[in-house]
């Protein structure tokens, strides 16, 4: 029996974890709808995938997000999976370095941006009485070092919102869960600095938390994780095998949360 491909929306899909998530779902025959700020990054990821559409969208722009999601539902008939991955990092800024402008932008992208996506996607899922929502938090929601103030606050808020989503949507056959990565080898610092510019304090290297001495200190696995390892957890939570997992947070952190 031929199974119709699921429609999977992935934000922040132009690099890092988002790109790995796109590859994981595409490999299982799903149709992936990639959202990102960068048309160039989207094109690079999409070039290697089948059943793919790309959308240059800022998740802060709620009307544009809604238009994109409603267009996908209208054309393809369903919204089966939403992976809310888009996020920016605040450059390790503490209270002294966090300006009002930086706070507003980090909260807008990392927390409000997720709401902007989930609101229209969940409406489609309620209509079809099925769906999977996976938000991407961080170990920063629980263990604040070495992340910044606004990033910690946004990720903690995201986990709280996801738990409430499970309560609101579970009766419709929809699950909402969070994946919380630890030290993952991505270019998040470089990408965030590109987006935020002078809003963040300067940092050294592409990802400070991924240097060997830091990882050896805090991560029992004694290594940073790979984007594909996070993608595998997300793919599982969107599967039929995870139908009774709802409102939970799955840490993909090499044991950091236990240390």
**Tens digit of pLDDT for each residue in 157-184?**
999 999 999 999 999 999 999 999 998 9
| Structure confidence at residue 206 (pLDDT) | 45
pTM score = 0.93
| Structure confidence at residue 2 (pLDDT) | 58
Instruction: Assess whether 100 carries a catalytic annotation.
Output: no
| Structure confidence at residue 197 (pLDDT) | 74
Low-confidence ranges of the chain (pLDDT < 50): 205-210
| Structure confidence at residue 208 (pLDDT) | 47
Domain borders along the chain are 7-258
> How many residues are recorded in the chain?
259
| Structure confidence at residue 204 (pLDDT) | 52
| Structure confidence at residue 210 (pLDDT) | 45
Burial status of residue 7 (CB atoms within 10 A of its CB: 0-12, 13-18, 19 or more): buried
Beta bridge partners of 81: 8, 132
What does the angle CA 244 – CA 181 – CA 179 come to, to the nearest 5 degrees? 20
Query: What's the whole-number average pLDDT of the chain?
Result: 92
Answer whether CATH 3.40.50.720 is correct for domain 7-258.
yes
Active-site annotation holder among 76, 100, 151, 172: 151
| Structure confidence at residue 207 (pLDDT) | 47
């Amino acid at each position: 029996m031929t199974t119709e491909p699921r429609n999977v929306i992935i934000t922040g899909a132009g690099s890092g974890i988002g790109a790995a998530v796109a590859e994981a779902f595409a490999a299982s025959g799903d149709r992936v709808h990639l959202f990102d700020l960068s048309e160039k990054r989207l094109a690079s990821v999409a070039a290697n995938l089948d059943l793919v559409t790309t959308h240059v969208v800022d998740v802060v722009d709620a009307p544009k997000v809604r238009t994109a999601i409603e267009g996908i539902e209208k054309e393809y008939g369903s919204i089966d999976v939403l992976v809310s991955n888009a996020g920016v990092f605040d450059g390790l800024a503490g209270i002294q370095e966090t300006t009002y402008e930086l706070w507003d932008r980090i909260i807008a992208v990392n927390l409000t941006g997720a709401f902007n996506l989930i609101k229209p996607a969940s409406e489609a899922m309620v209509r079809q009485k099925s769906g999977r929502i996976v938000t991407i938090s961080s170990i920063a929601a629980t263990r604040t070092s070495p992340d910044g103030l606004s990033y910690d606050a946004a990720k903690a808020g995201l986990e709280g919102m996801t738990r409430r989503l499970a309560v609101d949507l579970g009766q419709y056959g929809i699950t909402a869960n969070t994946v919380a990565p630890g030290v993952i080898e991505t270019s998040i610092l470089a990408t965030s600095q590109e987006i935020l510019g002078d809003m963040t304090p300067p940092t050294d290297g592409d990802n400070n938390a991924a240097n060997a001495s830091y990882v050896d200190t805090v991560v029992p696995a004694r290594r940073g994780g790979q984007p594909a390892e996070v993608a595998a957890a997300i793919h599982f939570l969107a599967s039929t095998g995870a139908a009774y997992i709802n409102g939970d947070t799955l840490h993909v952190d090499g044991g950091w949360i236990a240390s």
